[in-house]
Amino acid sequence: MTYLDHAATTPMLEAAKEAYLAAAGVGGNASALHSGGRAARRIVEESRERIADRLGAAPSEVVFTSGATEGNNLAVKGLYWGRRDAEPDRRRILVNPAEHHAVLDVIEWLARHEGARIEWLPVTVDGRVEVEAVAEVLATGSEDIALMTLMWANNEVGAINPMADIARLAADAGVPLHTDAVQAVAHVPLSFAEPGFTALSLTGHKFGGPTGVGALLLRKDAPVVPLAHGGGQERDVRSGTLDVPGIAALAAAVTVAVDAQQAEAERLTRLRDRLIGRVREVVPTAILNGPESDRLPGNAHFSFPGCEGDALLMVLDAAGVECATGSACSAGVAQPSHVLLAMGSTVAHARSSLRFTLGHTSTDADIDALIAALPSAVERARAAGLS
């Protein structure tokens, strides 16, 4: 199979596998006081330090989670509750309608059950939130704002938001800012030390770590109410027995991904641009979604007019090419992409889309395989739609 769905999950790096197996040989609970527990705790704290070093955070700001969905829930719900409880009028949440559902569904739940008021930040036709749009919203006043949550890079169309500039606006306005950086960590330079960031979510399986482990970078002074209560681990913000092998593997993957980020971005950009050019050659009606440039290096997102994206995906899969119609977390749900709709696309355009994403195992041969299969797959999918 030709794998072009790295934005959903990318294969584990060898360094991450080795770190996992080595840590799995240490049998202690990291909260225990005996020698086995201390050995496990040492692995956790060394991993915390490595992640903090690579992402511009203090070690005390690294809170381990089960992944980005938990991290997003903890950051958004926790910050909302903390701010609202201290100042009951702070109920407004600024959010981008093209966010991942792990943020959108949290916001909508808070609106239904906890009195939150949603204010949607405008999205450009290429999927970005502009600095000027955020400045305009903040200029109306921030006295009732609980927080702002804005993804660093869009998981579907690859658009990169100007997060450092937006974070400075948030800092000036006194508004806590959470960013879902799941797609950004391995592909764009970022630092949690930049002024204005309150919380940042990441997950290991997007950059060569294991599934089921992630981290929330969280300022020490962030007023966060925990989601779960128990043993008081992770600053009493995220109780639960720590996954020591997973944390070791996460740290190894972060280290490799960040250290290789510039060179790997250049390599993937070349592959991505070749993929985009070749798709346009063999299927001239294909429409690239998202920005032409300044997008994630491994992301190519197209609409194929006359096709249903799900049908085209299955035809390509039968031909040995694995890709996606959008977020893997909403796979199997027969709905048009909410990201494309937020960008102003029609329902028909949104339903005809496919996402091809590249990662550390991708080569020119993967692109060749896609191009060999794509024209006939498009013809078959269009014919199926007409029948």
- Looking at the predicted structure, is the pLDDT value of residue 91 above 90? yes
Beta bridge partners of 63: 216
Amino acid at 277: G
DSSP 196-264: T--EEEEEGGGTTS-TT-EEEEE-TT-----S--SS-TGGGTS-S---HHHHHHHHHHHHHHHHTHHHH
Lowest mean pLDDT among 49-63, 107-121, 210-224, 333-347: 333-347
- Looking at the predicted structure, is the pLDDT value of residue 289 above 90? yes
Our CA dihedral for 132, 137, 138, 142, rounded to 10 degrees, sits at: -170
- Looking at the predicted structure, is the pLDDT value of residue 387 above 60? no
Mean pLDDT of the chain: 96
Q: Looking at residue 327, what is its pLDDT?
A: 53
CB atoms closer than 10 angstroms to residue 110: 21
Q: Looking at residue 281, what is its pLDDT?
A: 98
Q: Looking at residue 102, what is its pLDDT?
A: 97
Query: What is residue 354's three-state secondary structure?
Result: strand
Residues 6+ apart with CB under 8 A from 225: 77, 78, 81, 82, 85
The answer to whether 329 is a known catalytic residue is yes
- Looking at the predicted structure, is the pLDDT value of residue 37 above 90? yes
Give the confidence band of 294 by pLDDT, cuts at 50, 70, 90.
confident
Tally of helices (H runs) and strands (E runs) in the chain? 12, 12
- Euclidean distance between the first and the last CA atom of the chain, given in angstroms as a whole number: 29
Residues 6+ apart with CB under 8 A from 267: none
Token pair for residue 161? Answer: 């938001």
Render pLDDT for 117-169 as a digit per residue (tens, 0 to 9).
999 999 999 999 999 999 999 999 999 999 999 999 999 999 999 999 999 99
- Looking at the predicted structure, is the pLDDT value of residue 334 above 80? no
Residue 160 CA to residue 100 CA, distance in Å, equals 14
**Complete domains list, the chain, with CATH:** 2-9+261-386 (3.90.1150.10), 14-259 (3.40.640.10)
Give the confidence band of 104 by pLDDT, cuts at 50, 70, 90.
very high
Give the confidence band of 335 by pLDDT, cuts at 50, 70, 90.
confident
Give the confidence band of 293 by pLDDT, cuts at 50, 70, 90.
confident
Give the confidence band of 330 by pLDDT, cuts at 50, 70, 90.
low
Q: Looking at residue 386, what is its pLDDT?
A: 67
**Its pTM surpasses 0.75:** yes
Token pair for residue 110? Answer: 């808070």
Give the confidence band of 27 by pLDDT, cuts at 50, 70, 90.
confident
- Looking at the predicted structure, is the pLDDT value of residue 325 above 60? yes
Answer for the pair 360, 12: CB distance below 8 angstroms, yes or no.
no
- Looking at the predicted structure, is the pLDDT value of residue 101 above 80? yes
Q: What is the mean pLDDT of residues 209-215?
A: 98
**Of 287, 329, 371, 372, catalytic:** 329
